[in-house]
Amino acid sequence: MVYENLLLEIEEGVALLTFNRPKALNALSTDLLNEFRDALQELEKNDEVKVVILTGAGSKAFVAGADIAAMKEMNSQEALDYSSLGHECLSYLETMSKPVIAAVNGFALGGGTEVTLACDFIFASDNAKFGQPEINLGIIPGYGGTQRLPRTVGKNLARELIYTGDLIGAERAREIGLVNKVFSPEELIPETKKAAKKIAGKSTLAIKAAKTAINAGYDIDQSDGCEIEKKAFSQLFDCKDAKEGLTAFLEKRPPKFIGQ
Ligand code: DAK
């Protein structure tokens, strides 16, 4: 597929998907969101791809948010369509079977922070900035920020960020549990690829089962979550990868997973 607003590179099981509207700091236009949804669906189907990395083109921004210029012109029906498309993208991103790592290389604001919150985890460069500045535009987060941010950093910190619109740097984002690791801008993509390739070498079935169990269990009672885990765990025993992993350990050799 050829995209106008995205770049895609696939190497050793890892897809690097780059938001590519650097002149608008990679703001989420309708065209970009349409391509983003299509690209995620393609990557989910592509057996060559085991892990996805999301980043932004240019040195300044991951994604500076929803497209403010476009939103200013929208009537309520267009705003509803725009909102539905954004939600469709982020819920697909969150629930697709393959892990998605956000590599945040600059501003991730508003919808940009919300994209990262729907990823499996976040690495950032030391010049990254996160925030939900929608309050300054007289609106509130519209792509799940009021829901995913409190679940990630806790209610009180989320309230402070959403009510003030303040931006935080990468180190502060790491302290509050939003970001897992911080690198220099030069190291960000190589280090993220390193982590992605490590995950790509595991059993895709086990990764999928872990992702499903974590997502499905997160918002429910822990004992119900453990039931989900039990089912996901036991289903792996019908698969060749689990037999291979257990056998390889006993034979003192590295496992060869085949995703079956
Ligand atoms: N949208 C469109 N264009 C943007 C943009 C954005 N979010 N952010 C930046 N740009 C454009 C600028 O207009 C400028 O374009 P030109 O003037 O060159 O044509 C170019 O990118 C470079 O930006 P600046 O000149 O402003 O660059 P600076 O380095 O001076 O500042 C900045 C960088 C990131 C601090 C600044 O650009 C900025 O504050 N940007 C806006 C950040 C922001 O407020 N983001 C949140 C957007 S609101 C909803 C769904 C979703 C949402 C809401 C509702 N519903 C479902 C209802 C989400 C809302 C948002 O994300």
Residue-wise pLDDT for 84-127, tens only, equals 999 999 999 999 999 999 999 999 999 999 999 999 999 999 99
Q: Whose Cα sits closest to atom 29 in ligand 1?
A: 60
Tell me which residue of 49, 47, 50 sits closest to 203, measured CA to CA.
50
Domain shared by 115 and 231, yes or no: no
Which residues does residue 14 pair with via DSSP β-bridges, in sequence order?
11, 51
The DSSP element (H or E) to which 195 belongs, if any, is helix 185-200
CA of 59 to the centre of ligand 1 (A): 15
Q: For ligand 1, say whether the CB of 24 is within 6 Å of any of its atoms.
A: yes
Tell me what the pLDDT averaged over the chain comes to: 97
Domain shared by 113 and 210, yes or no: no
Residue 95: both structure tokens together: 């629930």
Q: For ligand 1, say whether the CB of 69 is within 6 Å of any of its atoms.
A: yes
**188-243 tens-digit pLDDT:** 999 999 999 999 999 999 999 999 999 999 999 999 999 999 999 999 999 999 99
pTM (predicted TM-score): 0.96
Domain shared by 149 and 173, yes or no: yes
Domain shared by 187 and 245, yes or no: no
90 phi, psi to nearest 5 deg? -75, -30
Residue 35 lies in a domain: yes
Atom of ligand 1 at shortest range from CA of 110: 61
Pocket test for ligand 1, best of 25, 89, 161 (most atoms within 8 A of CB): 25
For 218-225, the CB contacts below 8 A with 24+ separation are: 218/151, 219/151
Mean pLDDT for the stretch of residues 15-42: 98
Domain shared by 226 and 152, yes or no: no
- Final residue of a domain: which of 161, 182, 200? 200
Query: What total number of domains does the chain contain?
Result: 2
Residue 257 lies in a domain: no
Atom of ligand 1 at shortest range from CA of 107: 34
